[in-house]
Amino acid sequence: MTNVLVVGSVNMDLVMKAQRLPAPGETLVGGQFTIVPGGKGANQAASAARLGCNVRLIAAVGADDFGRAAVANLEAQGVDRSRISHVAGVATGVAVIVVDAAGENTIIVASGANAALAPAVIAANADAFSWADSVVLQCEIPVATVLATIAAARAAGTLVILNAAPAVVSLPDQAFQVDYLVVNELEAAALTGIEPKSPAMALEAARQLNARGAKHAIITLGALGCVHSDDSVAEHIPAPQVEAVDTTAAGDAFIGALATALGEGKPPTQALCYANCAGALAVTKLGAQSSLPDAQSLASLYRQHCSG
């Protein structure tokens, strides 16, 4: 069984479903409201756990009701909670999400305890890096902690998957020294200055990310799937076509599935096709962790879409 170490954020998501996204200053009436566990770190940990991995999560939450609920939910998903810190005097991270009828969303995040996940926490959990087959991290935690995580994983000889999300205009060069760098269109544009309006343009941006140090650069393109570039391959990998309900956790499902597939020994192209299928299944349901696919449903779609 694959061992995945996730370092990242834990939030509680306040989700409002509306016919459309409001304009600045506008108040819309109506819509479905739910409170669901989220945060990119938690979502990606839950994704990998649902797909059968052994998952440990290094994270921080507040000593509050949201934090206790989020951690209990992670435990129920099969994620090891032993390395999650409860920080006194700080609120658990919160994301306010509005989803329109087409499944598109806008998100505002109050980082809360996620900002307290310091490099010292990474040093205190050094043993977890030698345990892991892969280390997964994102940018909803301090950049210094991202860099400390990459350094710890490299010292342990462990594969690193960095999801440079949400969009970061500037990352230090050390952040690109990873095995897999995964970004969406907005993040790719922020990092490269190239708006990936087509797979060809996305591959141009991916090659820039390779030049900065990423061994494998992946740009996700929503319904178009993703592109992948390394020192020998430049390819567009299509995604299954589905009816989108909520795109909130599609990227997190993608990352969890990618870590799972690579741990199972799938080559990059097949691992990315598997990840595309996970993202496609996630957008067919409302919510973040509530939309993450299980191993059986993902295996079924993978056989249909990627067998060729």
For 45-104, the pLDDT digits (tens) are 999 999 999 999 999 999 999 999 999 999 999 999 999 999 999 999 998 988 888 878
Between 116-125, 151-160, 236-245, 261-270, the lowest mean confidence (pLDDT) is in 236-245
Cis-peptide, bond into residue 293, ω within 30° of zero: no
pLDDT at residue 249 tops 90? no
pLDDT, averaged across the chain: 93
Find the angle CA(101)-CA(106)-CA(108) to the nearest 5 degrees. 145
If pLDDT is split at 50, 70 and 90, which confidence band does 151 have?
A: very high
Q: Is the Cβ–Cβ distance between 129 and 135 less than 8 Å?
A: yes
Average pLDDT over residues 293-300: 92
Report strand pairing: 216-220 vs 180-183: parallel
Beta bridge partners of 217: 181, 229
Q: Locate all alpha helices (DSSP H) within 79-193, ordered by sequence.
A: 119-124, 126-131, 143-156, 185-192
Sign of CA dihedral 114, 115, 121, 123: positive
pTM of the model: 0.92
CA dist 27 and 16 (Å) reads: 13
Active site residue 252: yes
pLDDT at residue 20 tops 80? yes
Q: Which entry of 173, 179, 252, 294 is annotated as an active-site residue?
A: 252
Between 158-162, 245-249, 287-291, the lowest mean confidence (pLDDT) is in 287-291
Per-residue confidence (pLDDT) for residue 107, from 0 to 100: 86
Q: Which residue has the higher pLDDT, 36 or 191?
A: 191
Per-residue confidence (pLDDT) for residue 266, from 0 to 100: 96
Ranges of each domain in the chain: 3-8+40-58+117-306
CATH 3.20.20.70, applies to 3-8+40-58+117-306 = no
Provide DSSP, 144-163. HHHHHHHHHHHHHT-EEEEE
Sign of CA dihedral 139, 143, 147, 149: negative
Q: H-helix or E-strand containing 72?
A: helix 65-77
Per-residue confidence (pLDDT) for residue 308, from 0 to 100: 59
pLDDT at residue 248 tops 80? no
Q: Is the Cβ–Cβ distance between 18 and 30 less than 8 Å?
A: yes
CA dist 210 and 103 (Å) reads: 31
* Radius of gyration from C-alpha coordinates of the chain: 18
If pLDDT is split at 50, 70 and 90, which confidence band does 237 have?
A: very high
Sign of CA dihedral 218, 210, 121, 166: negative
CA dist 127 and 229 (Å) reads: 32
Per-residue confidence (pLDDT) for residue 160, from 0 to 100: 98
Q: What percent of the chain has pLDDT over 90?
A: 80
Residue with tokens 């440990």: 56
